[in-house]
Protein backbone atom coordinates (compact mmCIF):
# COMPACT_ATOMS: atom_id res chain seq x y z
CA UNK A 1 0.00 0.00 0.00
CA UNK A 2 1.20 3.53 -0.82
CA UNK A 3 -0.18 6.86 0.32
CA UNK A 4 0.14 8.63 -3.05
CA UNK A 5 0.80 7.22 -6.51
CA UNK A 6 1.97 10.02 -8.84
CA UNK A 7 0.99 9.38 -12.47
CA UNK A 8 2.50 11.15 -15.48
CA UNK A 9 -0.08 11.46 -18.27
CA UNK A 10 0.48 11.32 -22.08
CA UNK A 11 1.56 12.91 -24.30
CA UNK A 12 4.87 14.64 -23.87
CA UNK A 13 7.81 13.68 -26.04
CA UNK A 14 10.85 14.31 -23.91
CA UNK A 15 13.05 11.28 -23.35
CA UNK A 16 14.22 12.70 -20.03
CA UNK A 17 12.87 11.56 -16.68
CA UNK A 18 10.24 13.99 -15.30
CA UNK A 19 11.33 16.01 -12.29
CA UNK A 20 8.01 16.82 -10.60
CA UNK A 21 6.97 13.32 -9.41
CA UNK A 22 10.32 12.68 -7.70
CA UNK A 23 10.18 16.14 -6.10
CA UNK A 24 6.71 15.44 -4.69
CA UNK A 25 7.74 11.97 -3.50
CA UNK A 26 10.72 13.51 -1.72
CA UNK A 27 8.38 15.95 0.00
CA UNK A 28 5.97 13.16 0.97
CA UNK A 29 8.81 11.10 2.45
CA UNK A 30 10.10 14.07 4.48
CA UNK A 31 6.64 14.45 6.06
CA UNK A 32 6.18 10.79 6.93
CA UNK A 33 4.13 9.66 3.90
CA UNK A 34 4.91 7.16 1.16
CA UNK A 35 4.88 7.88 -2.56
CA UNK A 36 5.58 6.04 -5.79
CA UNK A 37 5.66 6.96 -9.48
CA UNK A 38 3.88 5.43 -12.48
CA UNK A 39 4.87 6.86 -15.86
CA UNK A 40 1.79 6.30 -18.01
CA UNK A 41 3.28 8.72 -20.54
CA UNK A 42 6.52 6.79 -21.04
CA UNK A 43 4.73 3.43 -21.28
CA UNK A 44 2.49 4.70 -24.11
CA UNK A 45 4.70 7.25 -25.89
CA UNK A 46 4.77 5.28 -29.16
CA UNK A 47 1.06 4.46 -29.26
CA UNK A 48 -0.70 6.19 -32.17
CA UNK A 49 -4.18 6.05 -30.60
CA UNK A 50 -2.88 7.80 -27.48
CA UNK A 51 -1.08 10.42 -29.60
CA UNK A 52 -4.20 11.13 -31.65
CA UNK A 53 -6.31 11.51 -28.52
CA UNK A 54 -3.86 13.79 -26.73
CA UNK A 55 -2.51 15.90 -29.57
CA UNK A 56 -5.19 15.92 -32.26
CA UNK A 57 -8.30 15.41 -30.08
CA UNK A 58 -9.22 12.44 -32.26
CA UNK A 59 -10.84 9.35 -30.78
CA UNK A 60 -9.83 6.48 -33.04
CA UNK A 61 -10.39 2.90 -31.97
CA UNK A 62 -12.57 3.25 -28.87
CA UNK A 63 -12.25 -0.40 -27.87
CA UNK A 64 -8.47 -0.27 -28.07
CA UNK A 65 -8.29 2.97 -26.06
CA UNK A 66 -10.54 1.42 -23.43
CA UNK A 67 -8.24 -1.62 -23.27
CA UNK A 68 -5.11 0.56 -22.90
CA UNK A 69 -6.60 2.59 -20.06
CA UNK A 70 -7.99 -0.52 -18.37
CA UNK A 71 -4.59 -2.24 -18.49
CA UNK A 72 -2.72 0.69 -16.98
CA UNK A 73 -5.36 1.58 -14.39
CA UNK A 74 -5.25 -2.04 -13.22
CA UNK A 75 -1.48 -1.69 -12.72
CA UNK A 76 -1.97 1.58 -10.84
CA UNK A 77 -4.65 0.08 -8.58
CA UNK A 78 -2.40 -2.92 -7.89
CA UNK A 79 -0.11 -0.54 -5.96
CA UNK A 80 -3.08 0.00 -3.56
CA UNK A 81 -2.80 3.79 -3.34
CA UNK A 82 -4.92 5.90 -1.01
CA UNK A 83 -4.60 8.83 -3.42
CA UNK A 84 -3.64 9.07 -7.09
CA UNK A 85 -1.96 12.30 -8.09
CA UNK A 86 -2.31 13.01 -11.80
CA UNK A 87 0.38 15.25 -13.28
CA UNK A 88 -0.80 17.23 -16.32
CA UNK A 89 2.40 18.69 -17.74
CA UNK A 90 1.09 20.40 -20.92
CA UNK A 91 -2.19 21.09 -22.70
CA UNK A 92 -1.46 17.97 -24.78
CA UNK A 93 -2.03 15.87 -21.65
CA UNK A 94 -5.52 17.19 -20.89
CA UNK A 95 -7.59 14.68 -22.90
CA UNK A 96 -5.77 11.63 -21.56
CA UNK A 97 -5.79 12.98 -18.01
CA UNK A 98 -9.55 13.52 -18.12
CA UNK A 99 -10.15 10.00 -19.46
CA UNK A 100 -7.78 8.59 -16.86
CA UNK A 101 -9.74 10.29 -14.08
CA UNK A 102 -12.94 8.75 -15.41
CA UNK A 103 -11.47 5.24 -15.52
CA UNK A 104 -10.10 5.54 -11.98
CA UNK A 105 -13.43 6.84 -10.64
CA UNK A 106 -15.30 3.96 -12.30
CA UNK A 107 -12.94 1.27 -11.07
CA UNK A 108 -10.98 2.66 -8.13
CA UNK A 109 -13.51 2.55 -5.33
CA UNK A 110 -12.66 5.07 -2.62
CA UNK A 111 -9.36 6.21 -4.09
CA UNK A 112 -9.23 9.99 -4.17
CA UNK A 113 -7.78 11.85 -7.14
CA UNK A 114 -5.59 14.97 -6.99
CA UNK A 115 -4.68 16.81 -10.20
CA UNK A 116 -2.00 19.39 -10.79
CA UNK A 117 0.43 20.68 -13.37
CA UNK A 118 0.75 23.61 -15.78
CA UNK A 119 -1.29 21.84 -18.47
CA UNK A 120 -4.46 22.44 -16.46
CA UNK A 121 -4.13 26.21 -16.88
CA UNK A 122 -5.68 27.14 -20.19
CA UNK A 123 -3.87 29.84 -22.20
CA UNK A 124 -0.84 30.26 -19.94
CA UNK A 125 -0.08 30.26 -16.22
CA UNK A 126 -2.88 32.73 -15.45
CA UNK A 127 -5.54 31.01 -17.52
CA UNK A 128 -8.54 29.28 -15.91
CA UNK A 129 -7.71 25.99 -14.20
CA UNK A 130 -9.57 22.93 -15.47
CA UNK A 131 -9.44 21.46 -11.97
CA UNK A 132 -12.38 23.69 -11.00
CA UNK A 133 -14.59 22.16 -13.70
CA UNK A 134 -13.36 18.60 -13.18
CA UNK A 135 -14.04 18.82 -9.45
CA UNK A 136 -17.57 20.09 -10.06
CA UNK A 137 -18.16 17.13 -12.40
CA UNK A 138 -16.95 14.65 -9.79
CA UNK A 139 -13.95 13.54 -11.84
CA UNK A 140 -11.46 14.57 -9.15
CA UNK A 141 -11.45 15.30 -5.43
CA UNK A 142 -8.69 17.94 -5.21
CA UNK A 143 -6.65 20.10 -7.54
CA UNK A 144 -3.50 22.16 -7.11
CA UNK A 145 -2.86 25.36 -9.03
CA UNK A 146 0.87 26.05 -9.00
CA UNK A 147 3.66 24.52 -6.91
CA UNK A 148 2.42 21.31 -5.36
CA UNK A 149 4.74 20.48 -2.47
CA UNK A 150 2.94 22.04 0.48
CA UNK A 151 -0.60 21.86 -0.97
CA UNK A 152 -0.16 18.08 -1.39
CA UNK A 153 0.82 17.74 2.28
CA UNK A 154 -2.13 19.92 3.32
CA UNK A 155 -4.52 17.70 1.37
CA UNK A 156 -3.20 14.54 3.02
CA UNK A 157 -2.91 15.93 6.53
CA UNK A 158 -5.96 18.19 6.69
CA UNK A 159 -8.15 17.29 3.74
CA UNK A 160 -7.67 20.92 2.78
CA UNK A 161 -8.37 21.99 -0.80
CA UNK A 162 -5.56 24.20 -2.06
CA UNK A 163 -6.54 26.22 -5.11
CA UNK A 164 -3.19 28.02 -5.03
CA UNK A 165 0.22 26.87 -3.87
CA UNK A 166 2.05 28.32 -0.93
CA UNK A 167 5.13 30.13 -2.12
CA UNK A 168 8.45 28.48 -1.37
CA UNK A 169 11.05 30.75 0.18
CA UNK A 170 14.16 28.70 1.02
CA UNK A 171 14.88 26.07 -1.61
CA UNK A 172 17.95 24.89 0.33
CA UNK A 173 15.62 23.58 3.06
CA UNK A 174 13.65 21.36 0.72
CA UNK A 175 14.25 17.58 0.66
CA UNK A 176 15.98 16.01 -2.32
CA UNK A 177 13.79 14.35 -4.97
CA UNK A 178 13.41 10.58 -4.60
CA UNK A 179 13.79 8.49 -7.77
CA UNK A 180 13.55 5.01 -6.18
CA UNK A 181 10.38 4.02 -8.09
CA UNK A 182 11.63 5.31 -11.48
CA UNK A 183 12.34 2.83 -14.26
CA UNK A 184 15.50 4.39 -15.71
CA UNK A 185 15.38 2.11 -18.78
CA UNK A 186 12.55 4.34 -20.07
CA UNK A 187 14.67 7.52 -20.24
CA UNK A 188 17.85 9.16 -21.32
CA UNK A 189 20.37 8.78 -18.54
CA UNK A 190 19.97 12.30 -17.15
CA UNK A 191 18.82 12.98 -13.60
CA UNK A 192 16.69 16.17 -13.29
CA UNK A 193 17.78 18.79 -10.78
CA UNK A 194 16.27 22.17 -9.86
CA UNK A 195 18.37 25.09 -8.67
CA UNK A 196 15.96 28.01 -8.83
CA UNK A 197 12.42 29.16 -9.47
CA UNK A 198 11.48 32.22 -11.41
CA UNK A 199 13.83 34.27 -13.58
CA UNK A 200 16.13 37.29 -13.28
CA UNK A 201 14.93 38.61 -16.64
CA UNK A 202 11.50 40.06 -17.33
CA UNK A 203 11.08 39.29 -21.00
CA UNK A 204 8.05 40.96 -22.54
CA UNK A 205 6.58 37.73 -23.94
CA UNK A 206 6.94 35.62 -20.77
CA UNK A 207 4.37 35.02 -18.02
CA UNK A 208 6.67 33.33 -15.49
CA UNK A 209 6.63 36.34 -13.14
CA UNK A 210 2.90 36.01 -12.59
CA UNK A 211 3.65 32.65 -10.99
CA UNK A 212 7.02 33.38 -9.36
CA UNK A 213 7.23 37.17 -8.87
CA UNK A 214 10.65 36.88 -7.26
CA UNK A 215 13.68 34.91 -8.44
CA UNK A 216 14.78 32.49 -5.72
CA UNK A 217 17.73 30.15 -5.90
CA UNK A 218 19.64 27.45 -4.08
CA UNK A 219 23.24 27.78 -3.00
CA UNK A 220 25.92 26.31 -5.22
CA UNK A 221 27.04 24.07 -2.36
CA UNK A 222 23.52 22.64 -2.00
CA UNK A 223 23.31 21.89 -5.73
CA UNK A 224 26.74 20.27 -5.82
CA UNK A 225 25.90 18.10 -2.83
CA UNK A 226 22.64 16.93 -4.41
CA UNK A 227 24.38 15.98 -7.65
CA UNK A 228 27.01 14.03 -5.76
CA UNK A 229 24.41 12.18 -3.66
CA UNK A 230 21.99 11.49 -6.54
CA UNK A 231 24.86 10.19 -8.65
CA UNK A 232 25.66 7.73 -5.87
CA UNK A 233 21.99 6.71 -5.41
CA UNK A 234 21.07 6.28 -9.09
CA UNK A 235 24.40 5.30 -10.62
CA UNK A 236 23.89 8.06 -13.21
CA UNK A 237 26.52 10.77 -13.63
CA UNK A 238 24.61 13.12 -15.98
CA UNK A 239 22.23 15.84 -14.79
CA UNK A 240 19.80 18.20 -16.49
CA UNK A 241 18.65 21.40 -14.79
CA UNK A 242 14.94 22.23 -14.97
CA UNK A 243 15.45 25.93 -14.17
CA UNK A 244 14.54 28.83 -16.41
CA UNK A 245 18.27 29.58 -16.24
CA UNK A 246 21.19 28.10 -14.35
CA UNK A 247 23.34 31.24 -14.17
CA UNK A 248 20.75 33.65 -12.79
CA UNK A 249 22.73 34.17 -9.61
CA UNK A 250 26.40 34.38 -10.56
CA UNK A 251 27.45 33.93 -6.92
CA UNK A 252 25.58 30.64 -6.64
CA UNK A 253 26.78 29.62 -10.09
CA UNK A 254 30.44 30.31 -9.22
CA UNK A 255 30.08 28.38 -5.96
CA UNK A 256 28.63 25.47 -7.95
CA UNK A 257 31.36 25.36 -10.60
CA UNK A 258 34.11 25.75 -8.00
CA UNK A 259 32.74 22.89 -5.89
CA UNK A 260 32.08 20.61 -8.87
CA UNK A 261 35.52 21.29 -10.36
CA UNK A 262 37.04 20.15 -7.07
CA UNK A 263 34.81 17.07 -6.96
CA UNK A 264 35.34 16.06 -10.60
CA UNK A 265 39.11 16.30 -10.23
CA UNK A 266 38.90 13.28 -7.90
CA UNK A 267 36.58 11.14 -10.06
CA UNK A 268 37.38 8.66 -12.81
CA UNK A 269 33.94 9.32 -14.37
CA UNK A 270 33.15 13.01 -13.82
CA UNK A 271 29.66 14.34 -13.27
CA UNK A 272 28.29 16.27 -16.26
CA UNK A 273 25.32 18.62 -16.49
CA UNK A 274 23.34 20.89 -18.77
CA UNK A 275 20.55 23.43 -18.54
CA UNK A 276 19.04 26.70 -19.72
CA UNK A 277 21.41 29.65 -19.76
CA UNK A 278 21.69 33.36 -20.49
CA UNK A 279 24.58 35.00 -22.28
CA UNK A 280 26.14 37.70 -20.13
CA UNK A 281 28.69 40.43 -20.89
CA UNK A 282 32.34 39.42 -20.46
CA UNK A 283 32.65 41.41 -17.21
CA UNK A 284 29.82 39.31 -15.71
CA UNK A 285 30.60 35.86 -17.18
CA UNK A 286 34.36 35.88 -17.58
CA UNK A 287 36.75 33.67 -19.51
CA UNK A 288 37.68 32.06 -16.18
CA UNK A 289 34.00 31.34 -15.47
CA UNK A 290 33.80 29.50 -18.80
CA UNK A 291 36.94 27.48 -18.02
CA UNK A 292 35.64 26.47 -14.59
CA UNK A 293 32.21 25.64 -16.06
CA UNK A 294 33.82 23.09 -18.36
CA UNK A 295 35.97 21.53 -15.65
CA UNK A 296 32.89 21.41 -13.40
CA UNK A 297 31.10 19.25 -15.98
CA UNK A 298 29.00 21.70 -18.01
CA UNK A 299 28.51 20.10 -21.43
CA UNK A 300 25.36 21.69 -22.88
CA UNK A 301 23.28 24.85 -22.60
CA UNK A 302 19.97 26.01 -24.08
CA UNK A 303 20.02 29.76 -24.67
CA UNK A 304 16.93 31.89 -25.16
CA UNK A 305 18.35 33.97 -28.00
CA UNK A 306 14.86 34.65 -29.49
CA UNK A 307 16.22 37.02 -32.18
CA UNK A 308 19.64 37.89 -33.59
CA UNK A 309 18.54 41.49 -34.09
CA UNK A 310 19.79 43.60 -31.19
CA UNK A 311 16.91 46.08 -31.48
CA UNK A 312 14.38 43.25 -31.18
CA UNK A 313 16.13 41.77 -28.14
CA UNK A 314 16.29 45.25 -26.58
CA UNK A 315 12.53 45.54 -26.87
CA UNK A 316 12.18 42.05 -25.40
CA UNK A 317 14.34 43.10 -22.41
CA UNK A 318 16.81 40.27 -23.07
CA UNK A 319 19.78 42.46 -22.02
CA UNK A 320 22.63 40.99 -24.02
CA UNK A 321 24.34 42.12 -27.22
CA UNK A 322 25.58 40.33 -30.31
CA UNK A 323 29.10 40.86 -28.94
CA UNK A 324 28.05 38.95 -25.83
CA UNK A 325 26.90 36.12 -28.09
CA UNK A 326 30.22 36.17 -29.92
CA UNK A 327 32.15 36.11 -26.64
CA UNK A 328 30.11 33.20 -25.28
CA UNK A 329 30.43 31.14 -28.44
CA UNK A 330 34.20 31.68 -28.50
CA UNK A 331 34.62 30.03 -25.10
CA UNK A 332 31.94 27.43 -25.67
CA UNK A 333 33.94 26.28 -28.69
CA UNK A 334 37.23 26.42 -26.77
CA UNK A 335 35.91 24.24 -23.96
CA UNK A 336 33.63 21.99 -26.03
CA UNK A 337 30.35 23.20 -24.50
CA UNK A 338 27.50 22.76 -26.98
CA UNK A 339 24.49 25.03 -27.13
CA UNK A 340 20.99 25.18 -28.54
CA UNK A 341 19.63 28.50 -29.78
CA UNK A 342 15.94 28.96 -28.88
CA UNK A 343 14.33 31.36 -31.34
CA UNK A 344 11.03 33.20 -31.83
CA UNK A 345 9.95 34.08 -35.36
CA UNK A 346 7.83 37.20 -35.80
CA UNK A 347 8.08 39.44 -32.74
CA UNK A 348 5.71 42.42 -32.43
CA UNK A 349 8.35 44.92 -33.64
CA UNK A 350 9.90 42.69 -36.31
CA UNK A 351 10.26 44.05 -39.83
CA UNK A 352 11.84 42.81 -43.02
CA UNK A 353 15.01 44.65 -41.92
CA UNK A 354 15.22 43.02 -38.47
CA UNK A 355 14.53 39.58 -39.92
CA UNK A 356 17.38 40.20 -42.36
CA UNK A 357 19.62 41.10 -39.39
CA UNK A 358 18.86 37.66 -37.93
CA UNK A 359 19.67 35.99 -41.25
CA UNK A 360 22.94 37.93 -41.55
CA UNK A 361 24.01 37.01 -38.02
CA UNK A 362 23.31 33.34 -38.68
CA UNK A 363 25.54 33.68 -41.75
CA UNK A 364 28.32 35.19 -39.63
CA UNK A 365 28.02 32.40 -37.05
CA UNK A 366 28.16 29.65 -39.68
CA UNK A 367 31.51 28.25 -38.39
CA UNK A 368 29.65 27.18 -35.24
CA UNK A 369 26.80 25.48 -37.13
CA UNK A 370 25.99 21.92 -36.05
CA UNK A 371 28.90 21.77 -33.62
CA UNK A 372 29.12 24.48 -30.95
CA UNK A 373 25.58 25.52 -31.96
CA UNK A 374 24.24 21.98 -31.93
CA UNK A 375 20.64 22.96 -32.68
CA UNK A 376 18.50 25.94 -33.65
CA UNK A 377 14.95 25.55 -32.34
CA UNK A 378 12.66 27.96 -34.18
CA UNK A 379 9.52 26.88 -32.36
CA UNK A 380 6.24 28.60 -33.11
CA UNK A 381 5.72 32.21 -34.05
CA UNK A 382 5.29 34.63 -31.16
CA UNK A 383 2.34 33.90 -28.88
CA UNK A 384 0.97 36.68 -26.67
CA UNK A 385 0.00 35.04 -23.38
CA UNK A 386 -2.38 36.42 -20.74
CA UNK A 387 -0.95 38.87 -18.20
CA UNK A 388 2.40 39.26 -19.93
CA UNK A 389 4.01 42.67 -20.55
CA UNK A 390 3.10 42.34 -24.23
CA UNK A 391 -0.57 41.85 -23.42
CA UNK A 392 -0.47 44.95 -21.20
CA UNK A 393 1.26 46.91 -23.99
CA UNK A 394 -1.10 45.72 -26.71
CA UNK A 395 -2.95 49.01 -27.07
CA UNK A 396 0.15 51.21 -27.32
CA UNK A 397 1.72 48.75 -29.77
CA UNK A 398 -1.43 48.72 -31.93
CA UNK A 399 -1.99 45.00 -31.40
CA UNK A 400 -5.35 43.29 -31.74
CA UNK A 401 -5.35 40.14 -29.63
CA UNK A 402 -6.98 36.92 -30.80
CA UNK A 403 -8.39 33.76 -29.23
CA UNK A 404 -5.41 31.85 -30.59
CA UNK A 405 -2.35 33.39 -28.94
CA UNK A 406 -0.34 33.14 -32.17
CA UNK A 407 -2.98 34.87 -34.29
CA UNK A 408 -2.69 38.43 -32.98
CA UNK A 409 -2.56 41.25 -35.55
CA UNK A 410 -0.26 44.23 -35.26
CA UNK A 411 2.04 45.59 -37.92
CA UNK A 412 2.09 42.04 -39.27
CA UNK A 413 -0.34 39.19 -39.73
CA UNK A 414 0.25 35.55 -38.82
CA UNK A 415 0.71 34.79 -42.53
CA UNK A 416 3.65 37.23 -42.67
CA UNK A 417 5.15 35.80 -39.48
CA UNK A 418 4.88 32.27 -40.86
CA UNK A 419 6.61 33.51 -44.01
CA UNK A 420 9.49 34.87 -41.92
CA UNK A 421 9.65 31.64 -39.91
CA UNK A 422 10.00 29.61 -43.08
CA UNK A 423 12.61 32.05 -44.40
CA UNK A 424 14.75 31.67 -41.26
CA UNK A 425 14.43 27.88 -41.32
CA UNK A 426 15.37 27.70 -45.01
CA UNK A 427 18.36 30.01 -44.53
CA UNK A 428 19.65 28.09 -41.50
CA UNK A 429 19.26 24.78 -43.29
CA UNK A 430 21.31 26.12 -46.20
CA UNK A 431 24.12 27.07 -43.79
CA UNK A 432 24.26 23.64 -42.16
CA UNK A 433 22.51 24.35 -38.86
CA UNK A 434 20.49 21.49 -37.42
CA UNK A 435 16.83 22.48 -37.07
CA UNK A 436 14.35 19.96 -35.64
CA UNK A 437 11.30 20.89 -37.68
CA UNK A 438 7.88 19.84 -36.42
CA UNK A 439 5.54 19.31 -39.40
CA UNK A 440 2.45 18.91 -37.19
CA UNK A 441 3.20 22.25 -35.52
CA UNK A 442 3.64 23.97 -38.88
CA UNK A 443 0.36 22.53 -40.15
CA UNK A 444 -1.44 23.81 -37.04
CA UNK A 445 0.01 27.29 -37.45
CA UNK A 446 -0.95 27.36 -41.12
CA UNK A 447 -4.49 26.34 -40.20
CA UNK A 448 -4.76 29.12 -37.60
CA UNK A 449 -3.53 31.64 -40.17
CA UNK A 450 -6.43 30.81 -42.46
CA UNK A 451 -9.22 30.62 -39.88
What's the pLDDT at 14?
80
Band the pLDDT of 131: cuts 50, 70, 90. confident
What's the pLDDT at 31?
94
The answer as to CATH 3.20.20.10 being correct for domain 2-158 is no
Starting at the edge strand that comes first in sequence, how are the strands of the sheet with 238-241 ordered? Answer: 191-193, 238-241, 272-277, 298-306, 338-343, 373-377
Band the pLDDT of 124: cuts 50, 70, 90. low
What's the pLDDT at 386?
86
CATH topology of domain 189-449: TIM Barrel (3.20.20)
What's the pLDDT at 173?
81
For the segment 402-413, the average pLDDT, to the nearest whole number, is: 90
Cα–Cα distance measured from residue 62 to residue 70, given in angstroms and rounded to the nearest whole number: 12
Q: Determine which of 16-20, 214-218, 288-292 has the lowest per-residue pLDDT on average.
A: 214-218
For the segment 184-196, the average pLDDT, to the nearest whole number, is: 94
What's the pLDDT at 146?
77
Under a CB-based contact definition with an 8 Å cutoff, are residues 201 and 249 in contact?
A: no
Would the pLDDT of 438 be above 80? no
What residues does each domain of the chain span?
2-158, 189-449
pLDDT higher for 334 or 448? 334
Q: What is the pLDDT of residues 344-373, one digit of tens each?
A: 999 999 999 999 999 999 999 999 999 999
pLDDT over 70 percentage in the chain = 93
Identical fold between 2-158 and 189-449:
no
In this prediction the pTM is 0.87
What's the pLDDT at 164?
47
Amino acid sequence: MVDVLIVNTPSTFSNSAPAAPATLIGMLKSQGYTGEFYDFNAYTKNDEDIKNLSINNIVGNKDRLHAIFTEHVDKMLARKPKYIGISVFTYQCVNTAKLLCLHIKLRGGNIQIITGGPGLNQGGINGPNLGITWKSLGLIDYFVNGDGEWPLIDILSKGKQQADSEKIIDLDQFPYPVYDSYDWSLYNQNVPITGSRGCVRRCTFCDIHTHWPKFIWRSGESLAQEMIEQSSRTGINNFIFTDSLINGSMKAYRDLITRMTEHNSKRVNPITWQGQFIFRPSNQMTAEDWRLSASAGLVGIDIGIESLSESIRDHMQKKFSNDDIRFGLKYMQKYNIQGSFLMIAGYVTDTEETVQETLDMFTELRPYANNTIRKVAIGTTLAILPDTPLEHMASELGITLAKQENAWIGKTTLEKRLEWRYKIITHCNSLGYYIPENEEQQALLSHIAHV
